[in-house]
Structure 1
Amino acid sequence: MPKEKSVKKSRIHQDIQKQGIVFNKDFGQHILKNPLVITSMIDKSALRNTDVVLEIGPGTGNMTVKILEKVKKVVACEIDTRLVAELQKRVQGTPFQTKLQILVGDVLKAELPFFDVCVANVPYQISSPLIFKLLLHRPLFRCAVLMFQREFAQRLVAKPGDKLYCRLSINTQLLARVDMLMKVGKNNFKPPPKVESSVVRIEPRNPPPPVNFTEWDGLTRIAFLRKNKTLGAAFKQSSVLDMLEKNYKLHCSIRNIEITDPLNMQEKVTKILEDLNADQMRAKNMDIDDFMKILYAFNSADIHFS
């Protein structure tokens, strides 16, 4: 039986070569070919037979058919119509045909359906926007097991003080628990990418943190623009003060709050930071609680970041 499966798999790859399908670098197409890595990713997903699984970039379906064996339904999102045709051909006439739904198009623009688990070998150029699209999707999913470029994965799990700690780290960790699962060498792909990869597990915080993510994102954007600078210096930039003043005036006008004249935004901002002993803090060393306190203090003074 295993021999029959491997013959079938190689036949599928030969069919693709006969059709002249060249993997498209613009779509970040690097097909995961090592069955051990595929099996390990699926095992780490702890799939249940009642699950709906979202797979992004199924490629030729090597992982898709393995997932279909274990779950109720797979929704596969694929941008390349040539690979969609291959995937459809692969399940045609099998019990998997009715369990597979294919969304054709760009996953970043697609309206995602309900799903329990997401499994994906992610095209590297969409890594960051994809994570936040998934984490802001409702209802919340149980977990995602995703393959990323190694340095990107290291940024996801970086802690305050780490060299790779950045806005991506804190924004992701606000919304989810992130664990590094395994390293995957470039030779496990066809064609091999130029970089090494890693697999991470992302589990959304449920319930989500009581914070307006757009506001949070605005604050961390300012703080991490120069993560080695003090917050006092970051908030002295005229572009930052102009944005905060504009938002402040809009907020006050909507809520009929009288603005004391003359308005000195620099003074207001400095006082908030100094009262929190935060003016000498640097983003590179700050954790989620630090930013929560600062965001709460600014919002309490009617100063907003979005």
Structure 2
Amino acid sequence: MSLAKDRLKNRMEALSHYTKKALGQNFLVSDVVIGRIIQAVDDEKPEKLLEIGPGLGALTDLLIEKYGRYQLMELDSSLVKFWESQEMPVMEGDALQADWTKIDYDILVSNLPYQISSSIVIDRSIDQNQCRAMVLMFQKEVAQRIRAKHHTEEYGLLTVIAQEFWDITTVSEAGPRDFNPAPRVASRVLKFKRKESPIADRKDYLKFVKTCFQQRRRILKSNLESKLHEPFLTWVEKNKLSDKVRVEELSIVQIRDLYFHLKGG
């Protein structure tokens, strides 16, 4: 048995803890994957580490050895009490409902519940807390969307927002057997490093990209307000594109350029 499996088994027995499917609890038990995540975090030399969903400590036990006490965020009240008993700072609650303006952190790490992963990436991309890096677990399908290229089925809102504000690399693959209980899907760990972007109003940009992708099969012009049609046609002519271009045909840079053009910038 792996060290991670041993640790999980011992802690589940000690706490009489059972897996709560409703909370998206799939505990990571691969020493290899855990080691790669720890190394990816360590490479960023965190000063104010934050972990979402420490669970039973697959990552947490090893991160404590390296960094001592750091901030946790946990939804499962029984696990909140456990980590508090270990003298760890813990915020109880849903990461999607938390007031992130009050959280002081520079690096985020998490074996994310699948159901919140896309929202976490979008929210952290546009918020005011300029965290330097994130190391996050995703369902493989979501990870593929995040790193997709234009002209592909996977390319969408999540792709554009993530790639506009982060440099993204793959840290590790993770199969169903790397978790307990095993999910029905494969997973992938991605690392996000903050990069410079000329976009100042990130919430406004998110609104614009949502508008562009609201009906992705329609020509892009049809998704825009009528008052924007004339400047849009000027832009496509300047860029030697068809006036029937769809948003999925535009690169990250082109979508940003169109945004500034329509804003009159």
State the TM bucket, normalised to the shorter chain: 0.7 to 0.9
- The aligned residue for residue 204 of structure 2 is 215
Aligned with 2:42: secondary structure? coil
Query: Which one of 128, 132, 155 corresponds to residue 122 of structure 2?
Result: 132
Radius of gyration: which is bigger? 1
Indicate whether 1:82 and 2:78 are aligned.
yes
Count of residues in Structure 1 that have an aligned counterpart in Structure 2: 257
Query: Which one of 155, 166, 186 corresponds to residue 165 of structure 1?
Result: 155
- The aligned residue for residue 180 of structure 2 is 190
Indicate whether 1:145 and 2:115 are aligned.
no
Q: How many percent identity over aligned positions? A: 25
- The aligned residue for residue 219 of structure 2 is 230
- 1:144-179 CA-to-partner distances (Å, cap 9, x unmatched) read 110011100110110111221111100111111111
Provide structure 1 residue ranges, at least 5 long, that are not aligned to the other structure. Answer: 92-96, 236-240, 242-265, 302-306
| Amino acid in the other structure paired with 1:85 | K
- 1:64-104 CA-to-partner distances (Å, cap 9, x unmatched) read 11001112542110010112233345x3xxxxx4xx31111
| Amino acid in the other structure paired with 2:93 | G
Indicate whether 1:181 and 2:171 are aligned.
yes
Indicate whether 1:106 and 2:94 are aligned.
yes
- Determine if contact 2:218/2:246 at 8 Å carries over to the other structure: yes
Query: Which one of 26, 29, 40 corresponds to residue 44 of structure 1?
Result: 40
- The aligned residue for residue 23 of structure 2 is 27
- The aligned residue for residue 14 of structure 2 is 15
Residue 48 of structure 1 deviates from its aligned partner by 6.7
- The aligned residue for residue 94 of structure 1 is none
Ranges of 4+ aligned residues in structure 1 off by more than 6 Å: 3-8
- 1:86-144 CA-to-partner distances (Å, cap 9, x unmatched) read 3345x3xxxxx4xx311111122223421121110001111122112323344422211
Indicate whether 1:296 and 2:255 are aligned.
no
- Determine if contact 1:145/1:201 at 8 Å carries over to the other structure: yes
Residues in 2 aligned to 1:6 and 1:274: alpha-carbon distance in whole angstroms: 59
- 1:197-242 CA-to-partner distances (Å, cap 9, x unmatched) read 1000011224x4334222222222222123233212333xxxxx4x
- Determine if contact 2:71/2:90 at 8 Å carries over to the other structure: yes
Residues in 1 aligned to 2:223 and 2:151: alpha-carbon distance in whole angstroms: 18
- The aligned residue for residue 257 of structure 1 is none
In the superposition, relative to structure 1, how do residues 40 and 197 fare at CA in structure 2: closer, same or farther (>3 Å)?
same
- Determine if contact 1:175/1:205 at 8 Å carries over to the other structure: yes
Aligned with 1:85: secondary structure? helix
- Determine if contact 1:49/1:70 at 8 Å carries over to the other structure: no
Residue 6 of structure 1 deviates from its aligned partner by 8.1
Indicate whether 1:272 and 2:262 are aligned.
no
Aligned with 1:22: secondary structure? coil
Residues in 2 aligned to 1:274 and 1:138: alpha-carbon distance in whole angstroms: 34
Moved more, 277-286 or 175-184: 277-286
- Determine if contact 2:46/2:106 at 8 Å carries over to the other structure: no
- Determine if contact 1:56/1:122 at 8 Å carries over to the other structure: yes
Residues in 1 aligned to 2:190 and 2:3: alpha-carbon distance in whole angstroms: 32
Residues in 2 aligned to 1:4 and 1:153: alpha-carbon distance in whole angstroms: 27
| Amino acid in the other structure paired with 1:142 | R
Residues in 1 aligned to 2:3 and 2:96: alpha-carbon distance in whole angstroms: 37
Provide structure 2 residue ranges, at least 5 long, that are not aligned to the other structure. Answer: none
Residues in 2 aligned to 1:275 and 1:12: alpha-carbon distance in whole angstroms: 63
- The aligned residue for residue 283 of structure 1 is 247
- The aligned residue for residue 57 of structure 2 is 61
Residue 4 of structure 1 deviates from its aligned partner by 10
| Amino acid in the other structure paired with 2:47 | D
Residue 47 of structure 1 deviates from its aligned partner by 5.0
Indicate whether 1:156 and 2:142 are aligned.
no
Residues in 2 aligned to 1:27 and 1:5: alpha-carbon distance in whole angstroms: 21
